[in-house]
């Protein structure tokens, strides 16, 4: 119905339909449609506040973080990601870390380390390869910050802790860690 209204030049009616859908099942794609239509009809700022204020910050942390990243508000995305009990899918959490690398490198380091250790806990070669990728980001950030000693201590400890995980050791070797 919303598409029909959009195609026939009635953005307000389309906005109302998309809004009801968002209130029933909030998702980022619908949010973007609402943003486009809200800007078109001139009420986006007030509508944005109403939409986001109704969301449970823990349950919809992934959506809220994606909105913050879309608005280039990395500090807000980090606050959302660090909220106790916040449910963020790994993909969004890694997007937050990547966005934080420039201005908030310590926060990015923490996210990458946590995700690497979480991947290691899954105990599969595929998970070890994913962990190795996260650890490469950790290494690169430590180097950029001039913290080579901290990096060496961390990777040495991690290798020692998991010395019996041959596949992990191989994956770390494969990427030069």
Q: Measuring CA to CA, how many Å separate 12 from each of 9, 23, 26, 28, 155?
A: 9, 16, 19, 20, 56
Closest CA to 78 of 56, 52, 104: 104
Residue 29 in any domain: the answer is no
Which pLDDT belongs to residue 13? 77
Residue 9 in any domain: the answer is no
Which pLDDT belongs to residue 43? 85
Residue 156 in any domain: the answer is yes
Residue 157 in any domain: the answer is yes
DSSP 35-63: HHHHHHHT-HHHHHHHHHHTS-TTTTHHH
Residue 80 in any domain: the answer is no
CB 63 within 8 A of CB 87: no
Residue 72 in any domain: the answer is no
Q: Measuring CA to CA, how many Å separate 89 from each of 10, 169, 172?
A: 36, 27, 25
CB 128 within 8 A of CB 120: yes
Cα(73)–Cα(55) distance, integer angstroms: 18
Which pLDDT belongs to residue 1? 61
Residue 51 in any domain: the answer is no
Digitized pLDDT (tens) for each residue of the chain, 177 residues in all:
666 556 656 678 778 888 999 999 999 999 999 999 898 888 888 999 999 999 999 999 999 999 999 999 999 999 999 999 999 999 999 999 999 999 999 999 999 999 999 999 999 999 999 999 999 999 999 999 999 999 999 999 999 999 999 999 999 999 999
Cα(87)–Cα(158) distance, integer angstroms: 26
Helix (H, G, I), strand (E, B) or coil at 14: helix
Domains: count for the chain: 1
Q: Which domain holds residue 137?
A: 101-177
- For the entire predicted model, the pTM comes to 0.85
Which pLDDT belongs to residue 163? 94
Cα(134)–Cα(137) distance, integer angstroms: 5
Helix (H, G, I), strand (E, B) or coil at 17: helix
Question: How big is the CA angle at 52 (ends 68 and 55), to the nearest 5 degrees?
Answer: 110
Residue 167 in any domain: the answer is yes
């Amino acid at each position: 119905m919303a598409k029909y209204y959009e195609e026939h030049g009635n953005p307000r009616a389309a906005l109302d339909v998309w809004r009801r859908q968002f209130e029933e099942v909030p998702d980022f794609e619908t949010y973007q449609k609402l943003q486009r239509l809200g800007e078109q009809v001139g009420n986006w700022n007030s509508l944005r506040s109403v939409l986001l204020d109704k969301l449970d910050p823990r349950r919809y942390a992934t959506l809220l973080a994606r909105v913050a990243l879309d608005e280039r508000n990395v500090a807000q995305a980090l606050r959302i990601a660090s909220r106790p009990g916040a449910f963020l899918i790994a993909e969004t959490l890694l997007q937050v870390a990547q966005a934080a690398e420039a201005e908030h490198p310590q926060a990015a380091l923490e996210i990458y380390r946590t995700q690497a250790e979480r991947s290691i806990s899954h105990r599969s070669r595929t998970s070890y390869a994913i962990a190795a990728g996260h650890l490469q980001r950790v290494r690169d950030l430590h180097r950029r910050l001039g913290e080579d000693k901290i990096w060496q201590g961390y990777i040495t400890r991690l290798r020692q802790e998991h010395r019996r995980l041959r596949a992990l050791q191989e994956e770390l070797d494969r990427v030069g860690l």
